[in-house]
A and B are shown apart, each in its own frame.
Chain A
């Protein structure tokens, strides 16, 4: 049942004061962009969707993913993919090992290798499974992080300023790739950014938060 990502009267409070609020629905394959200066609470909203709010925050309202109420679920049971500005590739694992991290263990040996290799190939990184992530360029790392998230078969994608570190031409190409794959797979996307060009590329609704 693909209903997308819904924020129903979500309000995050700290010590009784409201930090951020959102009431919106993101349909499969669509994107919602939350914009605002730093300190406006946009990362807090992302954390609310990811289930990673620090304990001192209080969350009201519900977050639903494909009809499922995920508000009380831990991050690992929500089935969401997250991309950060720093790719957060695990430095102790190879590129292939990073991709395997989220790929369910039910996918066995040869099939596993094939899935990982195919994922790399699809973003122009064929044959790089054995590489140390530290030896990749910024654009390559971003693509590995994307495929790692997708291999875990998420039902939604959360993007936390994911293109901020890339230079302009690379940024445009990476944006296209991320949003293209999300559309292709019917994933609702929540994008948090302060770059208007990101919002434009995402192509969906834009919510502005005040400081």
Chain B
């Protein structure tokens, strides 16, 4: 995992300091840095990257912790899980478009209240989406990251005996929320630390969501860098490389600051826990009460966003402030459908290749670990997270340069290989818990009946693990479908996919086209989850223990 990231970063250092033989520049100069720092929007763009990243991460984390602390193990919890987990499958771009349709001045939220409440007959003239502070961007990120952090917290809870730990804390007189924060969270934190770092790094450097929801005068640093990358004047590539290194520095700095903050909060938290203080019941109630609407708003934003995409894609004439279109039509689908076949095929082909390879690699790693009876240490987990924490925009330009030099740019295979770097960690994370939880005695039973190691793997483990294997496949597939930057850069802009086409529509205002493409993107990402949910039920319909 380290290889492509390191190569990509190295590939950015050269041009940033004026060394780029393929462009006929072979000296060492600070020209690119001078141009970069001469850009008047730099301070704002870098500041935006920082504020959006920290705010989105802080809010997502706070909502996640409040929900878990207040409601884990209760009746309501199942609804929280059911409402939030489908958002995981939604690509970032589709979710961002959906949110934009919802909160824009002419979006559903305003339409629902107009004109009976607001009195508006025309959309209000305010900048909601792409606001200069990036708050819409923060909202879009929060809607996607809360389900992710929630899932990671849930996975960690099982190992940390969250239920019994909380019971002990409550038997000692602590309320549900404060007891969870004092006793359970410190045990979970080591396991959710890396996912939180990934969220912070991602939120600071995301490109597609920022292009859709983020400000554009100036845009965030990451969006600006991609603009430079795609400038027909190749000399801007050096500035892009310098910008990529600056972005990397920003992320590293923010992570370091976050880490210091963690220690500080940890120390204060320990003192709080040892002090034996108790929250009054009203504070407990307020904390529990705050978590639930936050979760509901998150789920509703994603759900109504998706519905909004669907409605626009089938909308005939739809004037403000009507809540629904005057008529329904297939015209938008008929117009974009034929052109969609190519990008759809590319999306599916690349995702299929990247995910199958990732599944094979992850299974091979886990099976080796199983046979040798050794578990990798914390270092290996860090390695897995490297591609998720190092900003894409920092190492992909370098990787693109290397691919170009090697003559590999622009093919499906090299795009799939680039996707693999991001798909593999998620597939591995998704598969590792069920793989390790599998009872070793099944293997012993199989071996005692004469099956070899491979025989056990194919004839016993694989069939028993059909459900988790399909889930890991679906996770990987959805990650690949959602990739924007690797597709754009490694493909040299010549391999359109559902994602690149949808994001490219962001700057235009054609809501029907956006509805069609974003819905297609969301559908491509969600389809394998349907397969993962139904597959085991069909194949194992007479095997109650395996339906999972």
Whether B274 contacts A102 by the Cβ 8 Å rule is no
* Residues in B neighbouring A50, C-beta threshold 8 A: 167, 171
* Contacts known (A97-B270, A100-B274, A102-B276); A75 close to B186, Cβ less than 8 A: no
Whether A88 contacts B168 by the Cβ 8 Å rule is yes
What are 7 A-to-B residue pairs whose CB atoms are below 8 Å? A76-B170, A82-B167, A93-B274, A101-B273, A104-B278, A105-B275, A154-B171
Whether B169 contacts A101 by the Cβ 8 Å rule is yes
* Contacts known (A76-B174, A80-B171, A101-B169); A92 close to B186, Cβ less than 8 A: yes
Which size bracket describes the interface of A in this complex? 35 or more
Whether B74 contacts A55 by the Cβ 8 Å rule is yes
Whether B183 contacts A101 by the Cβ 8 Å rule is yes
How many chain-B residues does the 8 Å CB contact rule pick out? 30
Which residues of chain A from 47 to 69 have a CB within 8 Å of any chain B CB? 50-52, 54-55
* Contacts known (A52-B167, A91-B187); A100 close to B74, Cβ less than 8 A: no
Q: How far is the CA of A54 from the CA of B278 in the complex (A)?
A: 24
- Give the 10 A-B CB pairs with smallest separation, nearest first: A102-B172, A105-B277, A75-B170, A92-B186, A97-B274, A100-B274, A55-B75, A76-B170, A82-B171, A103-B276
Whether B274 contacts A152 by the Cβ 8 Å rule is no
B176 at the interface (CB under 8 A from A): yes
Whether A102 contacts B173 by the Cβ 8 Å rule is yes
B165 at the interface (CB under 8 A from A): yes
Main secondary structure on chain B at its contact with chain A?
helix
* Residues in B neighbouring A81, C-beta threshold 8 A: 171-172
Q: How far is the CA of A102 from the CA of B171 in the complex (A)?
A: 9
Nearest-CB residue, chain A, relative to B77: A55
Q: How far is the CA of A56 from the CA of B270 in the complex (A)?
A: 34
* Residues in B neighbouring A96, C-beta threshold 8 A: 274
Chain A contacts to B: CB under 8 angstroms: 50-52, 54-55, 74-76, 78-82, 84, 88, 90-94, 96-97, 100-105, 107, 112, 148-149, 152, 154, 158
Whether B171 contacts A100 by the Cβ 8 Å rule is no
Report which of B161, B164, B175, B276 forms a contact with A101, defined as CB distance below 8 A: B276
Nearest-CB residue, chain B, relative to A79: B173
Q: How far is the CA of A88 from the CA of B184 in the complex (A)?
A: 11
Whether A74 contacts B176 by the Cβ 8 Å rule is yes
Whether B165 contacts A88 by the Cβ 8 Å rule is yes
Q: How far is the CA of A169 from the CA of B287 in the complex (A)?
A: 47
Nearest-CB residue, chain A, relative to B269: A92
Which interface residue of B168, B175, B183, B187 has the most chain A CB atoms within 10 A? B168
* Residues in B neighbouring A84, C-beta threshold 8 A: 164, 168
Please give the distance in Å from A98's CB to the nearest CB on chain B.
Answer: 8
Whether A152 contacts B172 by the Cβ 8 Å rule is yes
Which interface residue of A93, A101, A102 has the most chain B CB atoms within 10 A? A101
Q: How far is the CA of A81 from the CA of B75 in the complex (A)?
A: 25
* Residues in B neighbouring A76, C-beta threshold 8 A: 170-176, 179, 278
Nearest-CB residue, chain B, relative to A108: B275
B182 at the interface (CB under 8 A from A): yes
Nearest-CB residue, chain B, relative to A94: B274
Please give the distance in Å from B172's CB to the nearest CB on chain A.
Answer: 3
Q: How far is the CA of A88 from the CA of B187 in the complex (A)?
A: 12
Report which of B73, B164, B179, B182 forms a contact with A54, defined as CB distance below 8 A: B73
Whether A149 contacts B171 by the Cβ 8 Å rule is yes
Nearest-CB residue, chain B, relative to A87: B168
Whether A100 contacts B276 by the Cβ 8 Å rule is yes
* Residues in B neighbouring A52, C-beta threshold 8 A: 163, 167, 170
* Residues in A neighbouring B186, C-beta threshold 8 A: 90-92
Q: How far is the CA of A91 from the CA of B266 in the complex (A)?
A: 13
* Residues in B neighbouring A78, C-beta threshold 8 A: 171
Whether A90 contacts B173 by the Cβ 8 Å rule is no
* Residues in A neighbouring B273, C-beta threshold 8 A: 90, 93, 97, 100-101
Whether A92 contacts B270 by the Cβ 8 Å rule is yes
Which residues of chain B from 121 to 169 have a CB within 8 Å of any chain A CB? 161, 163-165, 167-169
